[in-house]
């Protein structure tokens, strides 16, 4: 019975793709490839019921997936690979290494970097004077509620790549894309440190889900030291 159902689901996918699938059906079919013999429809329903949505299932920690979903580590690893593969897909599809980065492209580039990340993470983008990308990568990763911005590492990378311009970005995994007072203090500290080596910090991007806020474009004032941040 299960084999006939799986064949019908595969044919449905081949004909229409996932557009015709409910969330639990998409997860059910994914689980075919880790659970060859059991009824994955029941497991998919249980996971979505426990976590509340398909995206929440993908964002859950591996040990929590195993415990609440009653699944093996192998199955939990497959689930956790999906958002990270999505991030790699977006980064690979939208390669910016040979482009001059406008403000909109910078926002998209950095938003893609946070797909599938459930801990607060800090990313640094370095460019030359013409806005060509020199480096873009993670400089620190913390917990769900916070991550340190390591100014020394940002300065070292900026010098190593002989950068002229820099953008920092971090995410709010459980919040909205608005800066805290601490975010503004950190931005001013990074700006001042980079200025000492001739590198201009041109923005700080804050990402939440698929939304982001540019501190420069939103004209947030430096409430700590007075004046403009950028």
List helix spans (H) across the chain: 2-16, 23-31, 40-51, 54-59, 62-69, 73-93, 103-112, 151-160, 181-195
Q: Is the pLDDT of residue 67 over 80?
A: yes
- pLDDT single digits (tens) 167-180: 999 999 877 888 88
- pLDDT single digits (tens) 131-142: 999 999 999 988
Among residues of the chain, what percentage have pLDDT more than 70?
Answer: 91
- pLDDT confidence of residue 4: 85
Please tell me the distance from the alpha carbon of residue 148 to that of residue 142, in angstroms, as a whole number: 7
CA-closest candidate to residue 204, choices 228, 176, 182, 230? 230
- pLDDT confidence of residue 229: 79
Task: Yes or no: say if 37 and 21 are a contact pair by the CB < 8 Å rule.
Answer: no
- pLDDT single digits (tens) 143-155: 766 678 889 999 9
Among residues of the chain, what percentage have pLDDT more than 90?
Answer: 60
Both tokens assigned to 38: 């059991």
Least confident residue range of 11-20, 47-56, 61-70 = 11-20
Task: Yes or no: say if 144 and 120 are a contact pair by the CB < 8 Å rule.
Answer: yes
Across the chain, how many H-helices and E-strands are there?
Answer: 9, 5
Task: Yes or no: say if 114 and 171 are a contact pair by the CB < 8 Å rule.
Answer: yes
Residue 121: what are its φ and ψ, rounded to 5°? -135, 145
Both tokens assigned to 73: 């580590």
pLDDT band of residue 88 (cuts 50, 70, 90) is confident
Please tell me the distance from the alpha carbon of residue 171 to that of residue 87, in angstroms, as a whole number: 14
- pLDDT confidence of residue 82: 94
* Beta-bridge mates of residue 125: 136, 167
Residue with token string 């329903």: 45
Please tell me the distance from the alpha carbon of residue 73 to that of residue 98, in angstroms, as a whole number: 40
Both tokens assigned to 191: 């700006």
């Amino acid at each position: 019975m299960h084999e006939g159902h799986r064949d019908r689901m595969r044919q449905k996918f081949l004909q229409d793709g996932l557009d015709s699938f409910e969330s639990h059906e998409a997860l059910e079919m994914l689980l075919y490839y880790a659970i060859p013999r059991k009824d994955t429809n029941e497991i998919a329903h249980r996971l979505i019921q426990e976590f509340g949505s398909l995206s929440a299932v993908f964002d859950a920690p591996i040990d929590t997936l195993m415990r609440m979903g009653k699944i093996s580590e192998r199955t939990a690893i497959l689930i956790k690979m999906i958002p990270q593969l999505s991030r790699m897909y977006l980064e690979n599809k939208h390669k910016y290494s040979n482009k001059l980065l406008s403000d909109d492209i910078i926002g998209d580039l950095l938003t893609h970097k946070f797909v599938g990340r459930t801990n607060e993470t800090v990313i640094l983008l370095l460019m030359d004077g013409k806005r060509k990308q020199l480096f873009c990568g993670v400089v620190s990763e913390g917990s769900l509620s916070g991550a340190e911005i390591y100014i020394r590492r940002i300065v070292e990378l900026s010098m190593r790549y002989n950068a002229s311009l820099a953008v920092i970005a971090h995410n709010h995994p459980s919040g909205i894309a608005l800066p805290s007072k601490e975010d503004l203090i950190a931005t001013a500290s990074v700006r001042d440190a980079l200025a000492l080596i001739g590198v201009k910090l041109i923005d700080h991007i804050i990402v939440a889900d698929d939304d982001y806020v540019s501190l420069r474009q939103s004209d947030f004032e430096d409430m700590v030291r007075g004046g403009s941040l950028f």
